[in-house]
Amino acid sequence: MGTCRRVAKQLTRDVPRLALTPPEAAASIGVGPDFFDQHVRPELEIVRRGRKCLVPVAEIERWVRENAERVLPEVDR
C-alpha cells in the first residue's frame, strides 16, 4: 500500500488536471470564491462524490468561451 501512495505522488506532478476544486476553478478565471459561487458555479456541471466537489476544466473553458464578448474596433466618424 505504501508503494501505491509513493507512485501516486510521483504521477500527480506530471498528470494534467481534468478537474479543479471550486477555489482552484475560481482562481483559474481570476475571480474570488464568493463571485465564483454566485455568478459562475450555477452555470457549470459539477462532479460530486460524497463531500468532494470538482469542476471539470472543460466546463470552465466552455463557460469562458460562452461568456466572452467580442470587442469590435471603433469606426472613425
Kindly state the cell numbers that stand for 75. Answer: 469606426
User: Is residue 1, in this structure, part of any structural domain at all?
Assistant: no
User: Is residue 41, in this structure, part of any structural domain at all?
Assistant: yes
Total structural domains within the chain:
1
User: Is residue 31, in this structure, part of any structural domain at all?
Assistant: yes
pLDDT, residue 9, reads 63
* 66 pLDDT above the threshold of 70: yes
User: Is residue 9, in this structure, part of any structural domain at all?
Assistant: no
Provide the domain limits for residue 39. 16-67
User: Is residue 62, in this structure, part of any structural domain at all?
Assistant: yes
Tell me which of 5-14, 25-34, 54-63 is least confident.
5-14
pLDDT, residue 65, reads 94
Mean pLDDT over each residue of the chain, to the nearest integer: 87
Instruction: Return phi, psi of residue 72, to 5°.
Output: -90, 145
Question: How does pLDDT run across 30-40, given as a tens digit for each residue?
Answer: 999 999 999 99
User: Is residue 6, in this structure, part of any structural domain at all?
Assistant: no
Kindly state the cell numbers that stand for 6. Answer: 509513493
Kindly state the cell numbers that stand for 17. Answer: 488536471
